[in-house]
């Protein structure tokens, strides 16, 4: 039998291996002095944890907290409104990634904008903008760029191609965010409105894709300065169970370290070429607003000033709305993203708010905590 892609994953989804890890964790957890709360900061992990029912396999003194892992969920309405307004400009084609088109802003989602006549397209790779620009030479293509360190190099690669090919009709609205800054915010906020000192996070499950790009080095400060251990984990259920087992062992042995479970793809240094590409084109913003979490210092990226001719936020600044927008008053996405509440605690979970009619962002993307609970939590 030839090797197929699905066979490569089989071992990492094997029920017996998952159960064997559950047994080891249960035995080890008897030696824990206190309950441990583990926050995953990757939407892919949230999805795996819920899909494979991992919380039910763990002893009662080990709990998951679902953090701000999905780039769609953390996008504030103000930025979605920017995309909406840009999409309504007559000669603009607005391009973005996947689920972003379903997130409601204050005027509706990008999907709504499309039904009102604007040209909104979604792509799997930013480089698809090159083809769209080539086929529509009289239009302005604005790439509404979202995502963590994972997708930032792809946006940088698109800009690199635009400059090298001297393409005149591709522009960028940058909404890239970075992971260490939000992890720091969750345990050591400088914002007087956020009671981060009351957080319940004992350990972090480090994200998968992000760490492939940035390397595990970006988490060094957490065990060192904040006494929070980090284990970088792969996506599959066996990966997550192995990472949990590594976390429990650290607690039992009194260690607080940065470790990598996902050794088949993550190194300490990460992908240096991708990091160089990010450095070349992006600067840190002083502040970036995260939905439900507020303004987080140095957590967002923007184009460097020398690339301002490609920056849609500068070119269209006169038409982009600037006011602050409140979220729906019943939505507790903010508490969920801070690990202070679980989706079923929201009074409109599964009733007024469902994947087909999302009110908050955590219900939109399949990586969002509310959507994962709705699909796999067996709670409706």
Q: Is 58 in the site for ligand SF4 (CB under 6 A)?
A: no
In the complex, what is the shortest distance from the CB of residue 184 to ligand SF4, in angstroms, rounded to a whole number?
17
Q: Give the list of residues 6+ apart from residue 223 with CB closer than 8 angstroms, or none.
A: 229, 230, 256, 257, 258
| Contact between 60 and 223 (Cβ < 8 Å) | no
Interface with ligand SF4, residue 72, by CB under 6 A: no
The verdict on 150 binding ligand SF4 (CB under 6 A) reads yes
Q: Pick the piece of the chain touching ligand SF4 (CB under 6 A) from 203-211, 243-251, 252-260, 311-319.
A: 203-211
**217 touches 270 (CB < 8 A):** yes
Question: What Å distances lie between residue 185 and 176, 182, 212, 262, CA to CA?
Answer: 17, 5, 22, 25
Cβ closest to ligand SF4, residue 163 vs residue 325: 325
Member of 76, 104, 343, 377 binding ligand SF4 (CB under 6 A): 343
Measured CA to CA, the distance from residue 380 to residue 376 in angstroms comes to 10
Residue 110 Cβ vs ligand SF4, minimum distance, rounded to whole Å: 18
Using the contact rule CB under 6 A, the part of the chain among 99-107, 156-164, 216-224, 362-370 near ligand SF4 is 362-370
Please, which residue, 94 or 336, has the CB nearer to ligand SF4?
Answer: 336
> Looking at 22, 38, 42, 65, which residue binds ligand SF4 (CB under 6 A)?
42
Cβ atoms of 170 and 307 within 8 Å: the answer is: no
**365-to-8, 43, 128, 152 alpha-carbon distances in Å:** 26, 9, 22, 19
Rule CB under 6 A: is residue 274 a binding residue for ligand SF4?
no
β-sheet bridge partners, residue 295: 289
Answer yes or no whether residue 362 interacts with ligand SF4 by CB under 6 A.
Answer: yes
Measured from the Cβ of residue 174, the count of other Cβ atoms closer than 10 Å reads 25
Out of 333, 339, 342, 377, the residue judged to bind ligand SF4 by CB under 6 A: 333
Q: Whole-angstrom Cα distance, residue 118 to residue 329? A: 29
Q: Is 97 in the site for ligand SF4 (CB under 6 A)?
A: no
Judged by the rule CB under 6 A, the positions of this chain that interact with ligand SF4 are 42-44, 69-70, 148, 150, 207-210, 331-333, 336, 343, 346, 348-349, 353, 359-360, 362-363, 367, 370
């Amino acid at each position: 039998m030839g090797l197929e892609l699905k066979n490569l994953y089989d071992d990492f989804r094997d029920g017996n291996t998952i159960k064997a890890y559950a047994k080891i964790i249960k035995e080890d957890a008897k030696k824990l002095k206190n309950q441990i709360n583990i926050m995953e900061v990757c939407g892919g992990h949230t999805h795996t944890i819920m899909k494979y029912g991992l919380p039910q396999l763990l002893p009662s003194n080990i709990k998951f907290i679902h953090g701000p892992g999905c780039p769609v969920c953390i996008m504030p309405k103000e930025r979605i409104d920017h995309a909406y307004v840009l999409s309504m400009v007559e000669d603009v084609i607005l391009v973005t990634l996947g689920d972003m088109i379903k997130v409601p802003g204050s005027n509706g989602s990008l999907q709504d904008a499309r039904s009102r006549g604007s040209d909104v397209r979604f792509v799997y790779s930013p480089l698809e903008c090159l083809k769209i620009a080539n086929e529509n030479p009289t239009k302005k293509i604005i790439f509404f760029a979202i995502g963590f360190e994972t997708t930032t190099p792809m946006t940088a690669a698109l800009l690199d191609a635009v400059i090298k090919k001297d393409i005149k009709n591709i522009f960028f609205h940058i909404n890239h965010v970075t992971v260490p800054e939000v992890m720091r915010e969750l345990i050591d906020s400088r914002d007087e409105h956020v009671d981060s000192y009351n957080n319940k996070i004992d350990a972090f499950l480090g994200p998968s894709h992000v760490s492939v790009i940035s390397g595990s080095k970006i988490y060094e400060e957490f065990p060192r300065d904040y006494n929070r251990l980090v284990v970088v984990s792969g996506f599959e259920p066996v990966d997550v169970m192995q990472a949990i087992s590594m976390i429990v062992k650290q607690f039992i042995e009194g260690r607080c370290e940065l470790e990598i479970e996902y050794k088949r793809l993550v190194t300490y240094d990460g992908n240096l070429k991708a990091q160089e590409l990010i450095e070349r084109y992006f600067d840190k913003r002083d502040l970036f607003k995260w939905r439900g979490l507020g303004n987080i210092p140095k957590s967002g990226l923007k184009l460097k000033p020398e690339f301002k001719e490609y920056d849609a936020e500068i070119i269209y600044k006169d038409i982009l709305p600037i006011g602050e927008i409140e979220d729906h008053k019943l939505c507790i996405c903010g508490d969920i993203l801070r690990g202070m509440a679980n989706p079923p605690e929201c009074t409109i979970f599964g009733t007024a708010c469902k994947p087909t009619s999302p009110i908050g962002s955590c219900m939109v993307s399949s990586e969002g905590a509310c959507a994962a609970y709705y699909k796999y939590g067996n709670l409706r």
